[in-house]
Amino acid sequence: MKALLLAGGFGTRLRPLTLTRPKHLLPIANRPHIEHVFDLLLAHGIEGVVLLTSYLADAFEGAVASAEGRGLAVEVTHEQEPLGTAGALKNAQALVGGGTFLVFNGDILTDCDLGRVLEWHRMKQAEATIWLQPVPDPSAFGVVPTDRDGRVLGFVEKPPPGTAPTNLINAGIYVFEPTVLDRIPAGEVWSAERQLFPGLVEEGAPVFGISTDAYWMDIGTPPKFLAANLDALEGRFRTESVPHPGAGLVLRAPGAQVEEGARISSVCLGADASVASGAVVESSVLLPGAKVERDAVVRRSIIGDGARVAQGVTVEDETMAPGEHDALS
């Protein structure tokens, strides 16, 4: 079985962090997010990956080499111009083969039991299966009502608060039969969420949903990206990158330095990041090469690659762009 990873988006919601790299390579617990997806696939015995790229495609070379070194067979497709979530799948049709395959939205972090989802797909003899996630407020998502048997009844995109027919949303992991790809026009911008899925339901195709109690996070905004890192540190998302999670944990990548006299808690320190004496850093992510100078304060923030928080400056609930040296206050 193969898994297709949608990795062609511009990461607009994550700017300025994505000005220099795709969002799929931003680190969760000091490892590129995409490597956590590889972990999940390998844990379920899935060893074939098709990486669907567009924006900053060359940046994935290191991740591809790392995946192949772990036993994954990786194929890469590239779009000169993004074709949408369904259009990207159509672009990779020749690589899918004749069997059932998985699809992952590139900005999802999860420990979903893929075996359970695949079993449900086969039991229902589905053409398409959507993993559904319950959320407290579905108004910011695509809501997916189902009948008692799990058959998808329709799609409601970002319903006004209090009007959603269910709290189950499209969680961005799918199981498809290859016939699904025949319904997507070649060379056109086509959306899975707004065109492919509604079309399948309208024609009566067997489209089913399944929900689980797995960890799930859409890391597509700075607050969610930060939350995912803190979840890894504290054990809500379990990863081998954090063998002993706990409250207040500081995870240091190679070359990261914390001077004596600094106070630091619940932080991911990227490679060669540094925190000077007298500084306070709490519930934050410092990307590689980021620097927090003496007596500065950083709380609930993301400091971009090579950015510097100047001496005595306070940064709270902010995202600093890569290389930024201007003081925020």
**Catalytic residue IDs:** 158
Kind and range of the H or E run holding 207: strand 207-211
Q: Which of 7, 154, 156 is nearest to 74 (CA)?
A: 7
Kindly give, in sequence order, each residue whose CB lies less than 8 Å from that of residue 136, ignoring residues fewer than 6 positions away.
167
Secondary structure letter of residue 271 according to DSSP: T
Neighbouring C-beta atoms of residue 59, cutoff 10 Å: 16
Radius of gyration of the chain (CA): 21
DSSP-assigned beta bridge partners for residue 275 = 258, 292
User: Residue 189 burial (CB < 10 Å; 0-12/13-18/19+)?
Assistant: middle
Tokens of residue 134, six digits? 């319950």
**CA 287 and chain centroid, separation:** 17
Neighbouring C-beta atoms of residue 247, cutoff 10 Å: 9
Alpha helices in the chain (DSSP H): 33-43, 61-69, 84-91, 93-96, 114-123, 197-202, 222-234
**Integer Cα distance of 179 and 188 in angstroms:** 18
C-alpha torsion sign, points 62, 64, 65, 71: positive
Rounded (10°) angle between helices 33-43 and 61-69: 30
Neighbouring C-beta atoms of residue 39, cutoff 10 Å: 16
